[in-house]
Amino acid sequence: MGRNRPLSRGFYDRDTLAVAADLIGKVLVHRTKAGVVAGAIVETEAYIGESDPACHAAPGPTKRNAPLYGPPGVAYVYLNYGMHYLVNAVTEPEGSPAAVLIRALEPLEGEKLMRRRRARGSSRSADSFATHELCRGPGNLTRALGISLDDNKGDLTEGPLRIEDRQRPRREVAWSRRIGINVGVEAEWRVFAVGSPAVSGRIRIG
DNA sequence: CGTTCGATGCACT
DNA sequence: GTGCATCGAACGT
């Protein structure tokens, strides 16, 4: 059993709320020519099925949401508001469209590269970012990690973009409503590590 | 502290 | 043509 073991397909092939909670403390890693970056997941949201109006599967199968209907353990990446890539881990058995949105990380590796990427195209300088700001928010973390449409449909169990279990200490978690949506707002399908400064939004504890 | 608003591309109706 | 699973700057209190 290696120390940086990628999560298995079976980890994702489960109830989406369980996966959303169990991803807290796991490590999202992206290996590119520019270098390796990694961060501990501290905030996620579940999007579950065609009956969830906020889930991209709500309209039924389309070209964009096809990965949601595919096998678990695959990345679903899409462009939001014309400028931010958001990354999800597909969950549940094939044919059951659901995923977990990764919303925030605590940087662990490649912080210098994260700073360069965040500063690029921004008015801020690389060293003006606090560490906990680098991957706070779903759009910010994909920028820091260099995640783009190239990573859509990538295999999280073995690709350059993957999620590993690095045996980090268990975090206390709390649940809240999901952030930034106008439908399906009542469900408490957001999970986050209590007290983490990297957690986004106003609903935070600690 | 709070709220509002523009940027910016494209999937979907 | 409409509406985003966002971000950050600009404003008001």
pLDDT in tens, A173-203: 999 999 999 999 999 999 999 999 999 986 6
CA to C1' distance (Å), from A182 to C2: 15
CA to C1' distance (Å), from A54 to C1: 21
CA to C1' distance (Å), from A123 to C8: 10
For residue A101, what are its two tokens? 């949105």
pLDDT in tens, A96-122: 999 999 999 999 999 999 999 999 989
Would the pTM count as exceeding 0.95? yes
Residues 4-23 of A with CB under 7 A from strand C: none
Q: Between β-strands A5-6 and A98-109, what pairing exists: parallel, antiparallel or unpaired?
A: unpaired
Residues 62-101 of A with CB under 7 A from strand B: 62-65, 79-83
